[in-house]
Amino acid sequence: MGPDDIAKLPYRRNVGVMLVNPAGHVFVGQRMDSETPAWQMPQGGIDPGENPRDAALRELHEETGVAPDLVTVEAETAGWIAYDLPQEIAARIWKGRFKGQEQKWFLLRFHGGDDQVRIDADAHQEFSEWRWLPPDEVVANIVPFKREVYARVIAEFAPHLEGSG
């Protein structure tokens, strides 16, 4: 599949979650399917008939074990934020049906403790390890092709991040 073929593909609709702890730090997980550093915030597809907010809470629970009653939804991005996958990934992921993802992001405030984060809670574990990062360190630790999206998400959520912690 060449670049022209990939460019004609649609985006996959998806949600992303910025989980922020009481200290104002952001959850990031190391992807299990990557041998190189590939940290990211929780994200995932939207099931048929599911609204984005419900998808975000479901994905958070599946990927981190954090139950919806441990978070408050503080904000969501005004629109959808798209990114393109690198050509070598687009040709093989999702059976080559999408050129990238178009995401609606949610800022969730975590009211629990670290012992309530369980990345091994789901049968399809996404992350091999996790950590909390200050918001200003998140983008530099993310896989390069997603950095622009993360910078936009952090900028949009900045008013909610200032003064936390």
Question: Does the structure show a pLDDT above 50 at 61?
Answer: yes
**Alpha carbons 66 and 64: distance in angstroms, whole number:** 5
State mean pLDDT over 21-28. 96
Question: Does the structure show a pLDDT above 60 at 147?
Answer: yes
Contact 40, 31 (CB under 8 A): yes
Helix then strand then coil, in percent of the chain rounded to 5, is 35, 30, 35
State mean pLDDT over 151-156. 97
Please name the amino acid found at residue 28. V
Alpha helices (H) in the chain, listed in sequence order: 3-7, 52-64, 87-90, 135-138, 147-161
State mean pLDDT over 33-57. 91
pLDDT of res. 44: 94
Which of 72-76, 99-103, 110-114, 158-162 has the least mean pLDDT? 158-162
Question: Does the structure show a pLDDT above 80 at 48?
Answer: yes
The pTM for the full model equals: 0.92
Kindly state the tokens that stand for 34.
């990557």
Contact 42, 17 (CB under 8 A): yes
Calculate the average pLDDT of the chain: 91
Please name the amino acid found at residue 80. W
pLDDT of res. 92: 78
Contact 49, 100 (CB under 8 A): no
Confidence of residue 164 (pLDDT cuts 50, 70, 90): low
pLDDT in tens, 94-105: 778 899 999 999
Contact 154, 138 (CB under 8 A): yes
Contact 68, 61 (CB under 8 A): yes
pLDDT in tens, 83-124: 999 888 887 787 788 999 999 999 999 999 999 999 997 778
Tell me which DSSP letter residue 86 carries.
Answer: P
Distance of CA 107 to the CA centre of its chain: 10
